[in-house]
Amino acid sequence: MKSYECNECEQKFTKKRQLKKHQQDHHKKQQNSQNEFFMCQKCSRVFMRLRSLKKHNLIRHKNIRAFTCEKCNKHFAHKQTLNKHILRSHKEI
């Protein structure tokens, strides 16, 4: 099944319209006022905010994993992904 990923927070959706609604609801207010775009020099992915580009570089190209599971010491780039891991892998916590 095809999924659509938000380029701001990497949340995934099964339908394109769900992704568009999510982006409007959660990221529209955060767009920069000059409608500038910021492109990653390594993979050409485009972002509406410089902060998102910087986060992308840390996670995708420098492989920074800032969130660690206290139970198994596994590292994750996003707190949301860590939380999902805990729910799936460590239900007893």
CATH number, residue 48: 3.30.160
For residue 55, is pLDDT > 80?
yes
Q: Looking at the structure, tell me whether residues 37 and 11 fall in a common domain.
A: no
Average pLDDT over residues 56-69: 85
* Mean pLDDT score of the chain: 82
Q: Looking at the structure, tell me whether residues 92 and 80 fall in a common domain.
A: yes
Q: Looking at the structure, tell me whether residues 45 and 67 fall in a common domain.
A: no
Cβ 34 vs Cβ 50: under 8 Å: no
For residue 13, is pLDDT > 80?
yes
Domain that residue 49 falls in: 33-62
Q: Looking at the structure, tell me whether residues 39 and 23 fall in a common domain.
A: no
Q: How many CB atoms lie within 10 A of CB 9?
A: 14
Q: How many CB atoms lie within 10 A of CB 62?
A: 8
- Using CA atoms, how far apart are residues 87 and 70, in angstroms rounded to an integer? 13
Q: How many domains does the chain have?
A: 3
Tokens of 38: 């910021």
For residue 31, is pLDDT > 70?
no
